[in-house]
Amino acid sequence: MHGNDLALVLTGTIIPNAPFTAHADPQTRRREYLAALGFYRQFAPVYFLENSGYALHNDAEFAALSGVELRSQPLSSAAERGKGYQEFEMLDGWLASEAQPPARWVKITGRYFFRNFGRLWANCQRARNADLLIDRCARSHWARSYLFCVTTDFYRRQLAGIYQECDDAQGDYIERVLYRRLAALPEARVRLFASEPRLTGVSGTTAESIETDARRYVVKRILRKLNYALDRRQLWYTT
């Protein structure tokens, strides 16, 4: 893959080792990651980062996926501090070891699907002057970590090492830690997605469906358009 491409990065833990994980069957998770990779690789080259020790390269179905680069990462140094800790620890490790990382990339929590990903992808392609596209809500002090588009330079300067502030048992979820970090930075090049993500999948924490309710989705689309038209950098409604 070439360093100037806009790429996709999917994070995964096939054999879960974090606390508060109800959706824990490795074979089910494996199938979900394969389905997600099969879907997202139609848009761009994909890096799949996995940190459970699962033998990715020995799995014929993963190895056969064209357009997907498999990147096995070490087991987490502090898995008990939660999924956000592990995910951003993986991202740091990947950038430290990747010889030629993409200049910009879209990070997706690996098993999640977005029904309108074509629109979200188009947002990312157009937003070349933004360092970071991410949804934040001022009312809840929450940043959506499951989907963002970032430049490698911005990530290295502003977000590297952020995982060390996470500890789910203390309520320091990555969404709160990330919100605090971004709140301390100039707003100029941190923007919202122009489109409301329509998420579907199964929560790793609760094992429950996280399908976006259709009526709420319509309301959120309208509110986001107002946000965007007025050049607001954070959402008026909770995430």
What mean pLDDT do residues 97-121 have?
95
Report the first-to-last Cα separation within the chain, whole angstroms. 34
Average pLDDT, the chain: 90
Biggest CA-to-CA distance, the chain: 51
Backbone torsion region of residue 53, taken as left when φ is above 0, otherwise alpha when ψ lies between -120 and 50, otherwise beta:
left
**Helices (DSSP H) in the chain: which residue ranges?**
26-40, 60-63, 83-97, 117-126, 152-154, 174-183, 214-229
Question: Rounded distance, CA 68 to CA 236, Å?
Answer: 37
State the DSSP code for 101: -
Report the b/e string of 28-64 with b at 16+ CB within 10 A.
Answer: ebbebbbebbeebbebbbbbbbbbbebebeeeeebee
Burial class (CB in 10 A: 0-12, 13-18, 19+), 169: exposed
Read off the pLDDT of residues 17-76 as tens digits, 9 standing for 90 and up: 866 555 678 999 999 999 999 999 999 999 999 999 999 999 999 999 999 999 999 999
Question: Rounded distance, CA 123 to CA 136, Å?
Answer: 16
pLDDT given for residue 23 in this prediction:
63
Residue written as tokens 């699907």?
113
Question: Rounded distance, CA 224 to CA 135, Å?
Answer: 10
pLDDT given for residue 207 in this prediction:
61
Burial class (CB in 10 A: 0-12, 13-18, 19+), 110: buried
Which residues on adjacent β-strands are paired with residue 70?
48
Question: Rounded distance, CA 187 to CA 184, Å?
Answer: 9
By percentage, how much of the chain surpasses pLDDT 70? 92
Read off the pLDDT of residues 174-229 as tens digits, 9 standing for 90 and up: 999 999 999 999 877 899 999 999 998 777 666 666 777 788 888 999 998 888 78
Give residue limits of the domains in the chain.
Answer: 6-229
Q: Residue 169: pLDDT band by 50, 70, 90 thresholds?
A: very high
Burial class (CB in 10 A: 0-12, 13-18, 19+), 166: buried
- Structure tokens given for 96: 């430290």
- What CATH number does domain 6-229 carry, 1.20.120, 3.90.550, 3.30.110, 2.60.40? 3.90.550
Question: Rounded distance, CA 205 to CA 21, Å?
Answer: 4
pLDDT given for residue 2 in this prediction:
43
